[in-house]
Amino acid sequence: MNKPCVSIAIPYYAKMKNAQVFMDRLLASIRSQTFQDYEIVITDKGGMAENTNNAIKASNGELIKIMYQDDYFIDKYALKRIVDAFKGQWLICGANNNPHPYWTDDIHTGNNKLGSPSALTIRNDKPLLFDENLGWLLDCDYYRRMYDKYGEPTILDEVNIKIGIHKGQATNTMGEEVKLKEHKYMKNKWQH
C-alpha cells in the first residue's frame, strides 16, 4: 500500500460543546475536497498539545495537515491549493480570522501573526511535536521552534481554512491564570 500524500490530523475533544456537530462539518469539508490522496487520523486522548502530538505520531502521509475539529476547509479546492503550494518543511495558509499571515520575530512572546494550528501543514520527516506544557501558546512555541530549525514557513496568502469561532473554542475556555502562567513559562524558555 502506498503512503498517502497528506495525513489530515484531527485531535478530537469530546467535551467540547457541539463536538460531534463540528466534527461532522469538518469531515464533510474533507470529503468534498477535489484532492483525494489523503488519510484521516483522529485521536482523542490527552490535552490539546498531547492529543495533537498523538495525531502527528499516527500520521503516515508525506505531509501532515493539522485540523482542529471545530475548523474546516473553506471550499472543495482548499487542500489542493495547500498541497500545490507546499515546499520546504512547513506551510501556513490564510484563515477567515487571519487572511494574510506573516512571520514575526517575537512570536515566542505571543505575537502570533501566523494563526491557528489549523492553518499549519508540515512535512512528515521526523516532525517536531508540540510542547505539552502549553495550551494557550502552544502554536507560538511550535512556530518558533520550526523557524529555528527550518527558517520561515511557506506562506499561502489566501484563505483556505475557516476557523470555527465560538464560546466553547479551546482558546476561549482558558482562564487568565492559565494564560499568565504560560507567558511566564515561555519567557523562561525563550530567554536568550
Extents of the domains making up the chain: 6-190
Could you give the dihedral angle defined by the CA atoms of residues 21, 26, 28 and 29, in that order, rounded to the nearest 10 degrees? 140
- Whether residue 111 contacts residue 78, with contact meaning beta carbons closer than 8 Å, is answered with no
- Percent of the chain at pLDDT exceeding 70: 93
Q: Residue 50: exposed, middle, or buried by beta-carbon count in 10 A (0-12, 13-18, 19+)?
A: middle
pLDDT one-digit tens code per residue, 53-84: 999 999 999 999 999 999 999 999 999 999 99
Q: Which CATH code, of 3.90.550.10, 3.30.450.20, 3.40.50.300, 3.20.20.190, is assigned to 6-190?
A: 3.90.550.10
Q: State how far Cα 157 lies from the chain centre.
A: 16
Q: What is the sign of the dihedral through the CA atoms of 125, 27, 120 and 108? A: negative
Residue 168 pLDDT > 60, yes or no? no
* Calpha distance 20→26 (Å, rounded): 10
Three-class secondary structure of residue 56 per DSSP: helix
pLDDT one-digit tens code per residue, 4-31: 899 999 999 878 788 889 999 999 999 9
pLDDT one-digit tens code per residue, 124-154: 999 999 999 998 899 999 999 999 999 999 9
The sheet that has 63-66: what strands, in order across it? 38-43, 6-11, 63-66, 120-123, 90-95, 154-162, 72-73
